[in-house]
Amino acid sequence: MKITDVATTLDDPMQREHLLTMLLSELDGMVYLCRADEFWTMEYVSQGCAALTGYHPDEVLFNRTLSFVDIIHPEDRAKVRDCIDLALAQDRAFSLEYRILCGDGSERWVWERGRGINKPGGEYNLVQGFIQDITDRHLREKALAETEHRYRSIFENATEGIFQTTMDGHYLEVNSALARIYGYDSSQDMIAHLQDISEQLYVLPGRRDEFIGMMKDLGVVTNFESQVYRKDKAIIWISENAHEVRDVEGELLYYEGTVEDITERKAYEELIAYQATHDNLTNLPNRALMMDRLQQAIRSAHRDGSQAAVVFIDLDHFKNVNDSLGHNAGDEMIRTVAERLRGCVRENDTVARLGGDEFVLLLADVKKSPGLVAQAVQRVLDAIEKPCMISGREYLITCSIGVSLYPEDGGDPDVLLKNADLAMYKAKESGRNAFWFFTPELDHGLAQRLQLEQQLRVAINEHQFELYYQSKFDVASGKITGAEALLRWRRPGRQQIILPDQFIPLAEETGLINSLGQFALQTACRQMRAWMDAGLQVVPISVNLSARQFQQPGLVKMVEDALRDNQLSPHLLNLEVTESCLVLEEAGFLDTLAELKALGVLIALDDFGTGYSNMHSLKTMPVHWLKIDRSFILGVELDHRDRAIYRAMVAMAQHLGLSVVAEGVETTCQYEFLHSIGCNEVQGFHCGKPLPPSVFSHYLRPVMKSVRKLPLPLLGKMMPVSATTSHTAVMLSPTGS
């Protein structure tokens, strides 16, 4: 249409109305003119009424079918009325949103704007306006409001801290949880107080810079763990997860993320890590941590040209104490030793517990002087040796120590520890309560020891052991009073017999002595039964019980079964108890001895004088004989002091009602001395060597027959069997004499 055509149309009233109607129909909404009466009586509505309300304009005009008031939602009618009336009274336009009820029963939101039209007299009686459907927008806004509400609820009620921060370290928004984590009364209090996150929050300088650097590189930060200050300056651990927030144009707006308080978790992790590297009983470093520190000490010594020492410590006879007094007392002793060791080292040294009664000292940065290391180790020996109170009783602790040095004895932690362990075993072999430096010869000795242990186990399983018998004699009459049975190891295909001193110490250490002791007891009892069945008059046999056998369950029953199975009278068995048994818990040890004595067997205290016995022990132990250790007879020919000591021991024992057996007698001079001081019995090469049972049986006289003349023994003269009660001893003695 041309402009001239439009002008012509506007001059025509009919055309002008048609054009207006056409324009109004194109509007997305309804144009109206109504009266300002009770019903909002519509005098004009556009065609948009149908699309908006679902009613045709003719139904609404002049309230023909319904008034517009009926279309307004009942809950909103008063609000609409009040808003329009107020606008009319104030001579201004109005704008409001409300709901309508459509012809199809649906509910819509509409936006209405309009203004009153003056009558000629100045009073409003008409209202003109425009109503538009805003249901979609309203629903979006409502959903947005609900989403914001939910977000705000989550934001405020979350257990995790939530934040928004600027790049330069200012908080924009924080929730209540984060304020609580950091010790603030409210979110506002926290935002106001923390103006510089880098300086005021993080404990570690530069930690915020690391956070920013990760953000720049990755755009996110995950599990960023840090120590931070609370408001009260207490330090806690947190874990942060955050990301960048950018606008539609890609400009960085802020960082947004969460914070979790992980203080308890970190404390638990530290506890687990500590327990993984420390001994629970003593809180000393364990093997793993000690080996790590040893590796560090090796690097440091290599760099500085210094030395490092590994000091391996093993308590002497700890198992006896632990087994007899119980694990609580053993633990108390271990803790006591740990404290003493701590007091023996420098701050940069390490005291570690490997387990059981084994400790290691790591002496780092030591000057290359074995004398200095020896002095340090001697201090350890002196500190450990002091008496200590365990369960209300005083005990003397000693230890054996082995030392290896870097770089002389190895450049690897495992090698150094192994070599120190080897040296410790050498210290035990040398008499305990001593220390020993590693030498290459010890490594060869370990290989031999391991080989011997394996061979010993095979020998027990394959029954390669046998008993030899050595006689005892009455000093006054010269008659046989018994025989001592000694273990011998005869390996198949070899002529040479292995003597006890080569395998008994290892058997004691490994616990194999229990099997050997049981073998000796049963073999001796069976041999007596065999001699008796052969018509020979036998003498009682005694089995030496080691300390380990006293810790073996069922010891008394084992002795009782051996006697019963071989139909032997209990007086035919003499049990010899070595002095090493006296380190056991006294009450339990004496109870077992009392049970053995109650069976009717006789008991002797062997190796007397080697260090454990005391007057109280002799007074309370249910023993019949004292066997004085062979080391005391060696000097009586040349030293009057040795003779005085021996004479005193014999007199003391006899005053206590005990008989005395002198071991290791090898010369006529020794025999005559023992005769002069009234010693009861003797045993040793002077009277006879150990003999196999087939040979020894020749010296047992037949029952109820006259005593026949016996051939001379290999050494000394074999005396006839005494008509009085005789005694045969089964001995697990490493001396073999």
DSSP designation for 583: G
262 and 284 both lie in a single domain: no
Q: Are residues 383 and 301 in the same domain?
A: yes
**Domain final residue pick, 70, 105, 139:** 139
**How many angstroms separate the CA atoms of 497 and 495, rounded?**
6
CA nearest neighbour of 112 among 90, 124, 130, 93: 130
Q: What does the pLDDT read at residue 710?
A: 36
* 261 belongs to a structural domain: yes
Q: To the nearest whole number, what is the mean pLDDT of the chain?
A: 85
Which pLDDT belongs to residue 329? 84
Residue 708 is predicted with a pLDDT of: 40
Q: How many Å apart are CA 440 and CA 434, to the nearest integer?
A: 19
Q: Cα separation of 595 and 601, whole Å?
A: 10
Pick the range with the lowest mean pLDDT from 52-61, 425-434, 514-523, 712-721.
Answer: 712-721
User: Is 153 within the bounds of a domain?
Assistant: no
Per-residue pLDDT tens over the stretch 662-679:
999 999 999 999 999 999
In the numeric block, which tokens belong to residue 111?
A: 């936006």
Give the end-to-end CA distance of the chain in Å, rounded to a whole number: 144
Nearest Cα residue to 733 out of 487, 562, 402, 399: 487
Between CA 587 and CA 584 the distance in angstroms is 9
Looking at the structure, tell me whether residues 416 and 480 fall in a common domain: no
Q: Name the domain boundary from 211, 236, 267.
A: 267
Share of the chain above pLDDT 90, in %: 48
Residue 113 located in a structural domain? yes
Statement: residue 307 has pLDDT above 60: yes
Burial (Cβ within 10 Å: 0-12, 13-18, ≥19) of residue 523: buried
pLDDT at residue 503 greater than cutoff 80: yes
Judge if 586 and 687 occupy the same domain: yes
3-state helix, strand, coil in the chain (%, to 5): 45, 25, 30
Q: Are residues 582 and 481 in the same domain?
A: yes
Single out the residue of 202, 206, 198, 204 nearest to residue 170, CA to CA. 198
pLDDT surpassing 70 at residue 616? no
Q: What is the pLDDT of residue 737?
A: 37
Asked, for residue 566, whether it belongs to a domain, the answer is yes
Residue 223's SS3 state is strand
Task: For residue 308, give Cα distances in angstroms to 345, 359, 369, 482.
Answer: 13, 17, 11, 57
Q: Which residues of 398-437 are buried (b: 16+ CB within 10 A; e: fewer)?
A: ebbbbbbbbeebbeebeebbbbbbbbbbbbbeeeebbbbb
CATH number of the domain enclosing 684: 3.20.20.450
* DSSP 3-state of 463: coil
| pLDDT band (50, 70, 90) for residue 120 | low
Q: Tell whether 556 and 411 lie within a shared domain.
A: no
The answer to whether residues 98 and 163 belong to one domain is: no
In whole angstroms, what is the distance from residue 421 CA to residue 460 CA? Answer: 27
% of the chain residues with pLDDT over 70:
86
Residue 488: CB partners within 8 Å, gap ≥ 6? 465, 466, 467, 468, 497, 498, 499, 500, 690
C-alpha distances in Å from residue 456, one per residue of 69, 286, 491, 666: 114, 33, 10, 31
Q: What is the chain's alpha carbon radius of gyration, rounded to the nearest angstrom? A: 53
Q: Tell me how far apart the alpha carbons of residues 485 and 523 are, in angstroms, rounded to a whole number.
A: 10
> How confident is the model over 153-179, as pLDDT tens digits?
666 667 789 999 999 999 999 998 999
> Going by DSSP bridges, is the β-strand pair 465-474/625-628 parallel, antiparallel, or unpaired?
unpaired
The pLDDT, as a whole number, for residue 121 is 60
CA 452, CA 455: separation in Å to the nearest integer?
5
Q: Locate tokens 């074995």: which residue?
A: 370
Per-residue pLDDT, averaged over 45-70, amounts to 93
CATH of the domain at 262: 3.30.450.20
> Average pLDDT of 608-614?
64
- Residue 559 to residue 549: CA distance in whole angstroms: 11
Is the Cβ–Cβ distance between 555 and 599 less than 8 Å? no
Same domain, 259 and 287: no
> Nearest CA to 401 among 372, 369, 379, 368?
379
Same domain for 536 and 643? yes
**Confidence at 399, pLDDT banded by 50, 70, 90:** very high
| Alpha-carbon span 465 to 524, nearest angstrom | 12
| Alpha-carbon 476 to chain mean position | 65
- Between CA 677 and CA 410 the distance in angstroms is 57
In a domain, 452, yes or no: no
Give the separation between CA 35 and CA 55, rounded to whole angstroms. Answer: 19
295 lies in the same domain as 428: yes
Residue 112 vs residue 446, higher pLDDT = 112
Is residue 692 within 8 Å of residue 466, measured between CB atoms?
Answer: yes
Q: Tell me the residue type at 220.
A: V
Same domain, 344 and 485: no
Whether the per-residue pLDDT at 729 is higher than 50: the answer is no
Strands (E), 268-329: 307-315
Structure tokens belonging to residue 444: 């060869």
pTM over 0.85: no
Last residue of one domain, picked from the residues 438, 472, 488: 438
pLDDT value of residue 289: 93
Least confident of 76-85, 272-281, 325-334: 325-334
Statement to judge: residues 566 and 638 lie in one domain: yes
Please tell me whether residue 685 adopts helix, strand or coil conformation. coil
pLDDT at position 620? 74
ω before 387 within 30° of 0 (cis)?
A: no
Query: Could you give the number of structural domains in the chain?
Result: 4
Euclidean distance between CA atoms 430 and 511, whole angstroms: 20
Question: For residue 456, is it within any domain?
Answer: no
Residue 147 located in a structural domain: no
Containing domain of residue 203, as a range?
Answer: 158-267
